[in-house]
Structure 1
Amino acid sequence: MGCVSSKESRRRPPGYEDPNTLARETTFSVNEVEALYELYKRISYSITKDGLIHKEEFQLALFRNSNKRNLFADRIFDLFDLKRNGVIEFGEFVRSLDVFHPATPVEEKIAFAFRLYDLRGTGFIGREELKEMVLAILNESELLLSDDAVEEIVDQTFRQADMNGDGKIDPDEWKVFASKNPALLKNMTLPYLK
């Protein structure tokens, strides 16, 4: 019996977790977790054939380009890399994607979006962080706006979100702001899971 066990573990990549366990810990069904495993395998073997998703593979999967530096992709990768070891394992992949499930509470989506914009991990979003993310999103969308237009977006966001006027957006302020601006979370749900 020991041979079967060791043979089975050789076929699974590092960080593989049982779909039943992942389904119990997330909003995904066992079938959805198994489908995510097929997606995970395609991504994790696209460049480096080790069964782990590296940043270049992640960027290639998201944007069809593994060479172009992208702050948005880097931030999402960093948030998915729960162990902070430079790769995304299967369990991390499923647990992180859970926030994009249609049945995931909006509060979790808001909290994830806050962490995405909190570039420095300080527990608040500063003006420069917001500007960097706005520029990254515009760049990814291939939208070109003048510096003045970008500044106006940042200024307007701060006028609406920074309710206590301290020059930073804290998690509670972000929650109120996101609740009033649902378009901010429109990409936080994967429609094909509905």
Structure 2
Amino acid sequence: MGSALIGLAAAVVGVTGTLLASVLSQRLLARVQSEQFDRQQQSAEAQWRREQQVAELGRRREGYMQVNASFRRYRTHLMDFLWTVRKGAVTPEARERVEEARRDHHSAFAEAQLIASTVVLAELDGMTAALSEVYRRVMSLEEGTPDPDGSFEGLRTDFDRLWERWERMRAEMRADLGAGNDPDGQQLIGPRRLPPLPPDGPETAQAA
């Protein structure tokens, strides 16, 4: 009888061991699969974040380039208009060129303000205010009601200040993008400096 009990106990232990081994094996496999799935999810999420960062950087870069282009165009046309005011040769076409450049500038700046970093946004807002003030002063001069310091020479100084402000804004944009020079040595955003206000009138400005 003792031998029978021993044999039965051995059989129970064997069956139990087999069942436990199966259960443990399944749990181990499930754990391995879960960990593998988590790693895949983490990898996919990291890849998605990288793609989003690249896309966001691309959007900011495009927006900043549009801002620079619109600023240069607006500044040039406003500067040309100042010369036509000085010469007493203002025409509806000359005014419309300024207004078109102003509208383009507003559009480009408005789009950039939606995607700009906090630091760049502050520069954009400051530049928008500065451009609006110079526009007002030029138009006041053209209408015959200039500011006390709104002479032609005073407005030339305004344009120089716009240039300096643009350089600060451009530097913040480049820092935000982590931009240096491309492999050909060309800067990624705009020229190094805008041309100064030309001494010979709007023809020189257009050539610049």
Same fold (TM over 0.5): no
Q: TM-score, normalised by structure 1?
A: 0.28
Return the TM-score normalized by structure 2: 0.27
Q: Which has the higher contact order (CA 8 A, sep 6+)?
A: 2
Higher helix share: 2
Q: Which has the larger radius of gyration?
A: 2
